[in-house]
Structure 1
Amino acid sequence: MPEMEDFSPPARSQADPALIQRNVLEEQVELWWFRQPRRSLLCFCAAVALIVACGLGGIVLLSSTTSMSSEWRLGAGTALCLLALAVLLKQLLSSAVQDMNCVRSRRRIDVLKSGGLLDLMVLVLAGLALLMCGAVLLKLAIANGLPRPGLALNDMFISSVVLLSVGGVTVLAVAVYSAAVFLQDRIGNPQGLRDRAVEVFTVSGHMNQGRRETTSSLANLI
């Protein structure tokens, strides 16, 4: 008796749930702004600290202006306040663009988001501006023969040293951060994104599994 041919449908290859979830996660434009949250939080905190430091420093210099030191205090205080406003404007611009959801390009989002290229450029320019202001004040202080004991203009020398220190630390911190990010991206492990995708879609994954089991039970019953 000849053997009966097997007409059963071929077994389907099982799709990788983690790969599917990763693809779904990659397609969500709204989530592109929140990738690498540690870097974004670090750069955001640095920007806020710079805004507070420059704003308070400018207000102190402007409020302590006297007839003997009116010119340099007004100049330095105004420059610090404008610098704080510039950094704040960048943060507000990124937040507004993100809320309007008008940018759909991954490259542009990576530039505009907190911790992106624009953030690093703003911090570098702010550090260079602080260095420039400190250098100008230091040059004026040296030209006036400062520091000298008992002279009221010694505040100019102290302010120049503070500005040079803050500006140098800012530029150095951005350089170290950029080098660390570059090395991490070169030797990074792409498994992290897959793990986050699994964590985000764990509930939907269980639902899909239960639905597949229900469908299979109905098919067996028929």
Structure 2
Amino acid sequence: MSGPRGPELGPNGPADPLRIQHNILEEQVELWWFRDPGKSILCYCVAVLLILGCGLGGVGLLSTTTSVSSEWRLGTGTALCLLALGVLLKQLLSSAVQDMNCIRSRQRINMLKSGGFSDLLVVLFTGMLLTICGGVLLHVALVNHMPKPGKALNDMYISGVVLLAGGGAAVLGVGIYFVMVVLLERTRHGRRFVDRVLNIFTVSGRMDRLARRNTTSSLANLI
């Protein structure tokens, strides 16, 4: 009677069940959308803040439009509402593409998923537009406030400062996020290189142990 069978030997030694399970999970396209949950949650929260901030700000400006300040309130409020709709449309589009499971490319999924490259572009574009709108309002308010001060110009000045601060914070946040992601990716590549080196030594050690076992068994058979 033969004894119990040991683990099956692969080309580089015994097969690792954890690595086999990891490779099987890596092949599941549905799971590619949920990699790096920390980045996804962060970018999703930023998108929600942009939608709420731009939407509420735009509705507030449109609802307080008067004959005295109709032009800049109407234009700025419309721009803010369009920005909120654009960010919301991106989130809905990513969710729809994920639900339809019509994309099988890892690169496209990494671009469209929450926390991907498309989120960075949307936040950067929104921040730049907010900065431009805030700068224009601030410039107009400062230029026209000297000859004829008034409440409308004060409101324009406050709105310009708020938009400029929000847009600058968004652009600065994207820059910090990009730098941190690049550094983390480099660190991961370094870790992968170390892991590969360790795996090489581990595999060679296993081969040495297997060779010693084979030599010992052959000597025992000779004796």
TM-score (norm 1): 0.78
- Cα distance in 1 for partners of 2:172, 2:66 equals 34
- Cα distance in 2 for partners of 1:147, 1:86 equals 38
Residue 109 (structure 1) aligned with residue 109 (structure 2): yes
Residue-by-residue CA offset, 1:32-73 (whole Å, 9 max, x unaligned): 000000100100000010000000000000001111101000
- Cα distance in 1 for partners of 2:130, 2:89 equals 18
SS of match in other structure, 1:68: coil
Q: Is the 8 A contact 1:146 1:153 kept in 2?
A: no
Q: Which residue of 2 aligns with 1:200?
A: none
Percent identity at matched positions? Answer: 63
**How many angstroms does 1:151 deviate by?**
3.2
Q: Structure 1: which amino acid aligns with 2:123?
A: L
Q: Structure 2: which amino acid aligns with 1:21?
A: Q
SS of match in other structure, 2:152: coil
1:1-222 alignment to 2 at 5 Å?
Answer: 12-13=8-9, 14-145=14-145, 151-188=151-188, 189=191
- Cα distance in 1 for partners of 2:148, 2:183 equals 47
- Cα distance in 1 for partners of 2:55, 2:163 equals 13
- Cα distance in 1 for partners of 2:57, 2:112 equals 27
Q: Structure 1: which amino acid aligns with 2:141?
A: A
Q: Structure 1: which amino acid aligns with 2:70?
A: S
Any stretches of 5+ residues in structure 1 without a counterpart? 1-8, 191-222
Root-mean-square deviation (Å): 2.2
**How many angstroms does 1:146 deviate by?**
5.6
Which moved further from structure 2: 41-50 or 131-140?
131-140
Q: Structure 2: which amino acid aligns with 1:162?
A: V
Are residues 179 and 148 of structure 1, via their aligned partners in 2, closer, same or farther at CA, if it must alter by over 3 Å? farther
- Cα distance in 1 for partners of 2:187, 2:154 equals 50
Q: Structure 2: which amino acid aligns with 1:63?
A: S
TM-score (norm 2): 0.78
Q: Is the 8 A contact 2:61 2:73 kept in 1?
A: yes
Aligned positions, number: 184
Residue-by-residue CA offset, 1:85-105 (whole Å, 9 max, x unaligned): 000000000000000000000
Are residues 167 and 10 of structure 1, via their aligned partners in 2, closer, same or farther at CA, if it must alter by over 3 Å? closer
Q: Is the 8 A contact 2:52 2:84 kept in 1?
A: yes
- Cα distance in 2 for partners of 1:38, 1:114 equals 10
Q: Is the 8 A contact 1:124 1:170 kept in 2?
A: yes
Relative contact order, CA 8 A, sep 6+: which one is greater? 1
Q: Structure 2: which amino acid aligns with 1:140?
A: V
- Cα distance in 1 for partners of 2:147, 2:104 equals 55
